[in-house]
Amino acid sequence: MQSLQASDFKNKTTVVTGGSSGIGLAISELFSSRGANVYVLDVNQRQGKQVKAMKTESTEKINFIKCDVSSLSDVKNAFAMIDQEHIDILINNAGVAHIGTIEQTTESDLDRIYNINIKGVFNCIKEVIPRMKSEGGSILNLASVASVVGISDRFAYSMSKGAVLTMTYSIAKDYIESGIRCNCIAPARIHTPFVDGFISKNYPGHESEMFEKLSKTQPIGRMGRPEEVAHLALYLCSNEASFITGSCFPLDGGFITLNS
């Protein structure tokens, strides 16, 4: 089988939400390095400025647009700033986490998770569909292993990622005749700055011990890397994956099947 060709992505208009850090940044950098014109939609303007300040071959085609994906008007304005009638690829990566059972989840917690993790995906897909229908395109959503298996103390987060999974199925079904493919990736724990910040905040003085414990929740014995998610995203949005739609791809070090 031939390797992925840079020509698959050359000048392809690609939108990545939450693309200025962690998994989103790895995706943005990889797609840009393959020739895509990447537009990062992110609420964090400070990190966005850091992305724009990076002068490397892999980031020279990354454009930052400040956008709160939970706001439909913000999303509409952001897409209006993308000077392209057609958008080839949308990657819905923006999301936030929450720890707690239903008893520990407040109404404001639930609203925040819903607005970003669910409504944010809805807003971006709703805005991109009219720009894809004429020539087709690829939509990729970042779900989670929590979409398909029960995880303790993750009530609101699991609810939101379950919705991302079923939105993926619905979009794939409704727009297959328009040439629009829609898939999702379901990662287990990925080592990002968020994980490091969570450990240092909640387990001061025990960072190494907790990092090792969290790493071992994946049967493979470690956390995933953002770059590994990015390479799977690259394949799923490539021409080589043109027969794939309505599918969920675990990237979990054996978490789903080997922990059961």
Q: Catalytic residue at 157? A: yes
* pLDDT value for 59: 57
Q: What's the chain's Rg over C-alpha atoms?
A: 18
CB 93 within 8 A of CB 140: no
* pLDDT value for 2: 46
What topology is assigned to 6-188+226-258 in CATH? Rossmann fold (3.40.50)
Residue 52 has pLDDT above 80, yes or no: no
Which pLDDT tens digit goes with each residue over 83-103?
Answer: 888 999 999 999 999 999 999
- Over pLDDT 70: what percentage of the chain? 91
* pLDDT value for 210: 93
Report helix, strand or coil for 208.
Answer: helix
Closest CA to 128 of 67, 59, 50: 67
Which pLDDT tens digit goes with each residue over 65-84?
Answer: 999 999 999 999 999 999 88
Query: Can you tell me which residue has the tokens 């709703």?
Result: 126
Q: pLDDT grade, residue 202 (50/70/90)? A: confident
Q: pLDDT grade, residue 18 (50/70/90)? A: very high
* pLDDT value for 1: 37
Q: How buried is residue 101: exposed, middle or buried, by Cβ count under 10 Å (0-12/13-18/19+)?
A: exposed
Q: pLDDT grade, residue 259 (50/70/90)? A: confident
Residue 29 has pLDDT above 70, yes or no: yes
* pLDDT value for 201: 87
CB atoms near residue 196 (< 10 Å): 12
Q: pLDDT grade, residue 132 (50/70/90)? A: very high
What number is the average pLDDT over the span 108-132?
98
> End-to-end CA distance of the chain, in Å?
33
Residue 60 has pLDDT above 90, yes or no: no
Query: Can you tell me which residue has the tokens 């890397």?
Result: 225
Separation CA 82–CA 173 (nearest Å) = 27
Residue 19 has pLDDT above 90, yes or no: yes
Q: Give me the sign of the Cα torsion angle 141, 71, 123, 34.
A: negative
Between 25-34, 147-156, 189-198, the lowest mean confidence (pLDDT) is in 189-198
Which pLDDT tens digit goes with each residue over 208-244?
Answer: 999 999 999 999 999 999 999 999 999 999 999 999 9
Q: Where are the beta strands (DSSP E) in 175-234?
A: 180-187
Residue 48 has pLDDT above 70, yes or no: no
Residue in 157, 169, 175, 235 annotated catalytic: 157
Separation CA 7–CA 244 (nearest Å) = 19
Report helix, strand or coil for 154.
Answer: strand
Query: What CA–CA distances, in Å, run from 225 to 15, 19, 215, 250?
Result: 21, 15, 11, 14
How many residues in the chain? 260
Q: Where are the domains of the chain?
A: 6-188+226-258, 191-223
